[in-house]
């Protein structure tokens, strides 16, 4: 399997499909690169080089006891980008992955980055504090920790319902989608998955966002039950120097069904033009294939 070895000897698995300008995807917790397969095929068929890695302690990467925190995730991403010698890359991060790419740009700069996409992303800060009263209380994250510790298999399976909006009228969540999410989640190392809860909930990305000068698409469903939009996308868009906020009415946290189709169209358009101008999916695909 393709992988890099980081400075601390950790093996990081990655996928590398297609050729052209690089688009690098970072996955959410507790998933892995497979969660991006649909988008990777989409952009590779449209003339881009699609790359996605398994974060340390997730998927096929090494399960480390130490280093499961946002600074190390960002440093691992930097080593992947440097070892693959990527330039003018578009970074796409979902949920925790949005925090990872944000910390990477804040910590390592944007000399190798053309633009970025934050989808349902955790920045600037999920935890409620005196300075961040719109965040979620620590008890919400303690409940996640308890669920993972007590019966992670059942917890991950149950998590699919709010993750994909399966508890909303008109939901098209299938059992196959739930099983796929569960399988990806069960590949995460137990220690790393627990550590990552603190990483995605308690890391403050405020200053990272302010340092990012490349164009950023901030995309978020306004019925996100995992990362509520008020404490995340709305605030992140005001902190970024060059942001476009795209709100998807009634859409959940995870990409599925019509939401995935909407985002896929906007992703291709943003890759081509740096905007999310309304075009038909066929126009977006054919235009991407030309470029």
243: helix, coil or strand?
Answer: strand
Q: To the nearest 10°, the Cα dihedral for 75, 195, 133, 71?
A: -10
Residue with tokens 């308890």: 146
CB atoms within 10 A of CB 215: 19
Query: Residue 180 in contact with residue 173, Cβ under 8 Å?
Result: no
Q: State CA 175 to chain mean position distance.
A: 23
The two three-digit tokens of residue 279, written as one number: 């075009």
Give catalytic residue positions. Answer: 95, 224, 253
The two three-digit tokens of residue 285, written as one number: 């695909």
71: helix, coil or strand?
Answer: helix
Q: Is the peptide bond before 62 cis (omega within 30 degrees of 0)?
A: no
């Amino acid at each position: 399997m393709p992988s890099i070895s980081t400075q601390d000897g950790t093996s990081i698995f990655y996928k590398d499909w297609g050729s052209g300008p690089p688009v690098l995807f970072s996955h959410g917790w507790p998933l892995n690169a497979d969660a991006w397969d649909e988008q990777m095929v989409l952009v590779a068929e449209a003339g881009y080089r699609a790359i996605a890695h398994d974060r340390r302690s997730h998927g096929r990467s090494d399960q480390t006891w130490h280093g499961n925190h946002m600074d190390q995730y960002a440093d691992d991403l930097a080593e992947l980008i440097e070892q693959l010698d990527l330039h003018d890359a578009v970074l796409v991060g979902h949920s925790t992955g949005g925090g990872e790419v944000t910390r990477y740009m804040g910590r390592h700069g944007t000399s190798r980055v053309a633009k970025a996409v934050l989808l349902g992303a955790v920045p600037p800060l999920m935890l409620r504090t005196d300075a961040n009263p719109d965040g979620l209380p620590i008890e919400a994250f303690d409940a996640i920790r308890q669920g993972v510790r007590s019966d992670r298999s059942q917890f991950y399976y149950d998590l699919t319902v709010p993750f994909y909006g399966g508890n909303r009228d008109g939901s098209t969540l299938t059992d196959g989608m739930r099983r796929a999410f569960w399988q990806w989640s069960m590949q995460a190392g137990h220690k790393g998955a627990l550590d990552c809860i603190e990483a995605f909930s308690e890391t403050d990305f405020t200053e990272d966002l302010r340092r990012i000068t490349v164009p950023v698409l901030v995309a978020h469903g306004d019925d996100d039950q995992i990362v509520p939009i008020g404490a995340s996308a709305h605030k992140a868009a005001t902190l970024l120097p060059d942001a476009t906020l795209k709100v998807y009415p009634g859409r959940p946290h995870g990409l599925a069904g019509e939401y995935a189709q909407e985002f896929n169209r906007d992703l291709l358009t943003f890759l081509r033009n740096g905007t999310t101008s309304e075009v038909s999916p066929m126009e977006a695909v054919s235009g991407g294939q030309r470029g």
